Amino acid sequence: MKTKTTVATISLLSMLSFGALAAQSIDASQAEKLQSAGTITVSGVGAAPSDIRQALSAKADAQGATAYRVIEARNEGNYHATAEIYK
């Protein structure tokens, strides 16, 4: 249940833009129209969902992606999130 809550929270927070050129979070229906460029992961200790979202976006940006879709996330003291990236 925590995983679903974390994914939902990250998805909702991802709708808020924090940078004009930052990779944007997308949902599964939006991803169908794009070509996958691989996956990225972030992990750490004690971060807020918005921090996790920002870390995913920054990592996606670094790989030249314009969008990412969270495919797995958990936040149980230590966090871990995996996202598919799109160019």
Structural domain range at position 49: 2-86
pLDDT of 9 reads 57
Position with higher pLDDT, 19 vs 62:
62
Report H helices in the chain. 2-14, 28-31, 49-62
How do residues 5-61 score in pLDDT, each as one tens digit? 655 555 545 544 444 578 999 999 999 999 999 999 999 988 888 999 999 999 999
Residue 43 maps to which CATH number? 3.30.1660.10
pLDDT of 75 reads 85
Backbone φ and ψ for 63, nearest 5 degrees, come out as -100, 10
Query: Is the Cβ–Cβ distance between 53 and 15 less than 8 Å?
Result: no
Count the domains in the chain: 1
φ/ψ region of 28 (left if φ > 0, alpha if ψ in -120 to 50, else beta) reads alpha
pLDDT higher than threshold 90 for residue 64: yes
| Angle made by CA atoms 40, 73, 36, in degrees to the nearest 5 | 35
